[in-house]
Chains A and B, each alone.
Chain A
Amino acid sequence: MVSGTRGLTLRATARLDPDRPGYVVVPGAGGPTTGDPDQGAVTIPVLLARFAGSAAVPLLRAALRNPEVTVATVCGGSLALAMAGLIEGRHAVTHVLGMDVLDATGVRAVPARVVDDGDLVSAGGVTSGLDLGLHLLEREFGPRVAHAVETLFEYERRGIVWRATGRTPVTT
Chain B
Amino acid sequence: MHPIVGTWDLSLRTPIGTLAAVYVFGDTGGVLTGTAGTTAETVPLAGIACDGPRVTWRQSVTRPMRLNLDFDVVVDGETLAGHSRAGRLPRTTVTGNRRADPAGSTGSASRW
A interface residues with partner B (beta carbon < 8 Å): 37-38, 43, 45-46, 49, 52-53, 82-85, 88, 100-101, 103-106
Contact = CB atoms under 8 A, between A and B. Distances in A.
A37 B17 contact: yes
A83 B67 CA distance: 7
B87 interface: yes
List the 4 closest A-B pairs by CB distance, nearest first. A104-B87, A104-B86, A37-B17, A83-B65
B11 to A, nearest CB: 10
Contacts of A104: 15, 67-68, 86-89
Nearest to B64: A49
B62 interface: yes
Contacts of A105: 65-68
B95 interface: no
A62 to B, nearest CB: 18
B35 interface: no
A104 B88 CA distance: 7
B17 A106 contact: no
A77 to B, nearest CB: 15
Given A82-B66, A100-B89, A106-B66, 9 more contacts: A37-B18, A45-B15, A85-B62, A85-B66, A100-B87, A103-B87, A103-B88, A104-B89, A105-B68
A52 B67 CA distance: 13
A78 to B, nearest CB: 12
A102 to B, nearest CB: 9
Given A52-B65, A83-B66, A88-B66, A38 B15 contact: no
B16 interface: yes
A37 B16 contact: yes
Nearest to B69: A104
Nearest to A52: B65
Contacts of A85: 62, 66
Given A88-B66, A105-B66, A46 B87 contact: no
A101 B66 contact: no
Nearest to A45: B15
Interface in B3-59: 15-18
